[in-house]
Amino acid sequence: MLFGSGPTLGVSSSNEFTFAIVVNPVGNYYKGAISGIKAFVHTEYDRAAPLGIGRSKAGGNYVADLKPMSEIRAKGYQTGLYLDAKQKK
């Protein structure tokens, strides 16, 4: 994890950063993952568009997955796989 930790308060890039590694045991993230899971390939949603914040790891990146994940879980899938947002491959 990397976050801006400089003394500036406001909306701007930071001049100081903190790097931390967080380790947490989670067991099997997906029930039955050892034998495989059902994954859905999204064709109607993008998670990380070329001009968005997808090139950076940020908490906000996960918001784009909430509606698509809800839809595919209702269909019996455990996770979604996204195509390249620019080339749709």
C-alpha span between 37 and 79 (Å, rounded): 8
C-alpha span between 72 and 33 (Å, rounded): 17
57 is annotated as an active-site residue: yes
C-alpha span between 84 and 89 (Å, rounded): 5
C-alpha span between 72 and 77 (Å, rounded): 5
Indicate which residue of 57, 75, 88, 89 is catalytic: 57
Tell me the one-letter amino acid at 51.
L
Residues catalogued as catalytic: 57
